[in-house]
Amino acid sequence: MSARDLQERIKKLIIDRRLPSGAPLPTEPELMAHLGASRNSVREALKGLQAMGIVEIRHGFGTYVGTMSLAPMIEGLAFRTVAGHYRGEDTLLQLLQLREAVETGLVSRLAGRVADADLVELDALVDRMEEQAAQGGDGIAETDRAFHATLYRGLDNALLGEVMEAFWDAFHRVHTDLGGTPQDPLVTCRQHREIVDAVRSGDAIRAEGAISEHFGNIRARVSTTGTQHPHRCHNERV
């Protein structure tokens, strides 16, 4: 029995039994019996499914249905970007342009349609960002991530939100691992404030412009990154 077929049969098992995220999978001996394969083959199949986020393996505890998060997609995107970067391709810039193209389109649909509760949360996030900027910019990245996540929550599509977060994560990880120059915190704060105000005003054109300016700022930093060499592996942990 080939490992590829085993993966398909395990996926089919999850579908057929309607197993939700976190539900326990049969143990390795049980899977061996059910699939008629050796333990090594079963384990290799599970390793592949684990890499795709379909199953989660806990040492000494058991195997469970994974959270189906987009973490593997981030992993793949990040590696693809780093590998291409070192081969002289502008992959990091492409990744940024992907985010910009998608976010400018989304924010115009979002203008004037964000719930009041989300708007005050966005205000609070920019406030916090300003505090962090005043104190050396520590933790400002996480606030930026929360800002974008909160912004696109208004589109009422969990999948869309996750995809946007995945793009953000992939870009951020590659950018930092490649030793990209951080942005000016004060400029970043001002641009995020403008995004909130633009969305609140309901002016789609203005909102698009705000996003565009924000990304233009980031792009300037990316272009100067050049072909630096990192001192560490491009990532170390999920």
Partner DNA sequence: GTGTATTTGTTCGTATGTATT
Partner DNA sequence: TAATACATACGAACAAATACA
What angle (nearest 5°) sits at the alpha carbon of residue 194, between those of residues 191 and 199?
130
Q: Residue 227 in contact with residue 179, Cβ under 8 Å? A: no
The one among 15, 18, 61, 237 contacting DNA by CB under 7 A: 61
Stretch that binds DNA, among 61-69, 87-95, 191-199, 211-219 (CB under 7 A): 61-69
Nearer to DNA (CB atom), residue 63 or residue 150: 63
Least distance in angstroms from the C-beta of 70 to its own copies = 7
**Which residues is 65 bridged to in the sheet?**
55
| 139 is a site residue for DNA (CB under 7 A) | no
38 binds, among its own copies, DNA, none (CB under 5 to 8 A by kind): DNA
Amino acid at site 5: D
Angstrom distance (rounded) from CA 99 to CA 111: 18
Q: Contacts with DNA: how many residues (CB under 7 A)?
A: 23
Angstrom distance (rounded) from CA 101 to CA 85: 20
Least distance in angstroms from the C-beta of 107 to its own copies = 8
Q: Give which of 5, 190, 202, 43 is closest to 108, Cα–Cα.
A: 202
Least distance in angstroms from the C-beta of 232 to DNA = 21
**Cα radius of gyration rounded to whole Å, the chain:** 21
Map residues 62-101 to x or -, x wherever contact with DNA holds by CB under 7 A: xx--------------------------------------
Q: Which of residues 10-39 bind DNA (CB under 7 A)?
A: 25, 27-29, 36-39
Least distance in angstroms from the C-beta of 62 to its own copies = 17
For 150, residues 6+ apart whose C-beta sits below 8 A from its C-beta are 118, 121, 122, 125
